[in-house]
Homo-oligomer: A and B are copies of this chain.
Amino acid sequence: MILPVPDTGPVLVIAPHPDDEVLGVGGTIARLSRAGREVHVCIATRGRVERFGQEQVDTVRREARAAHDILGVEHTHWLDHEAAALDTEAHGDLNRSLADLVKRIGAQVLFVPHVGDIHLDHQLVFLSAMVAARPAQQQYPAAIFAYETLSETNWNAPYLTPPFVPNVFVDISETLDTKLAAFSAFASQVRPSPAERSISALSALATLRGATVHRHAAEAFVAIRQCY
């Protein structure tokens, strides 16, 4: 925006669990995709069959595919780490699988969950993504943004865990409907109002984030690092 930086190159949205990418980045994905940008989604974990049953695991994956089609995602990468148990495997393993993916697709822009989210998986995915994106060599993602996830970001400990104070706003007035449609495709994850995972809460968030910058709808992010 400041300088004639490359406006091309893949965008990678990293989600700890399926639907985080829709809740946090759905409208932006749709906008980028419509603008011809190549958007990848990476789902870091999969639910344990023994805990959720094969059917539930399959359902969520099928819903994710439908949602991603709606949003215009180019490719979805399933890393299949064990959900709700990332703390029980070596941190280095997650680092490596994310680093490999970032490198393989040549991601230029990363969207990552917020390190202050209440779910430990979110925190660990954030930290591993930072390692995967280290500017240690000539090539690395030029921009990293953290997104907010309803039912995760607002439930941690105010003033004691890292706050989400948005400083990047993307106008999604044109794609909010698409985002809501994609979230609706996650039928197993949508909850009725007044839950945070409800359509009404998701709409309210878009309206509020938009109003902050005088737009009808927006998604908001925290700027982690940008290199021009």
Contacts and interface: CB of A to CB of B under 8 A. Distances in A.
Interface of A: 1-7, 11, 28, 31-32, 35, 37, 84-85, 87-88, 90-92, 109, 114-116, 118-120, 126-127, 130-131, 134-138, 140, 142-143, 146, 150-151, 154-163, 165-171, 193-196, 198, 200-201, 203-205, 207-208, 210-216, 222-228
A5 to B, nearest CB: 5
Interface of A is mostly: loop
B143 A1 contact: yes
Contacts of A155: 130, 134-136, 212
Q: How many chain copies does the complex carry?
A: 6
State the 8 A-B residue pairs at the shortest beta-carbon distance, nearest first: A201-B211, A204-B207, A223-B223, A159-B159, A158-B165, A204-B204, A158-B167, A135-B213
B87 A90 contact: yes
Tell me which of A2, A87, A92, A228 has the highest count of chain B C-beta atoms within 10 A of its own C-beta: A2
A127 B85 CA distance: 15
Contacts of A1: 1, 5-7, 109, 142-143, 226, 228
A159 B214 CA distance: 21
A148 B67 CA distance: 35
Nearest to A126: B157
B214 A208 contact: no
Contact of A170 (B88, B91, B225, B228): B228
A32 to B, nearest CB: 7
16 contacts: A1-B143, A3-B32, A3-B37, A114-B160, A136-B151, A136-B196, A150-B211, A155-B212, A168-B228, A169-B228, A193-B211, A194-B207, A203-B207, A204-B205, A204-B207, A213-B227
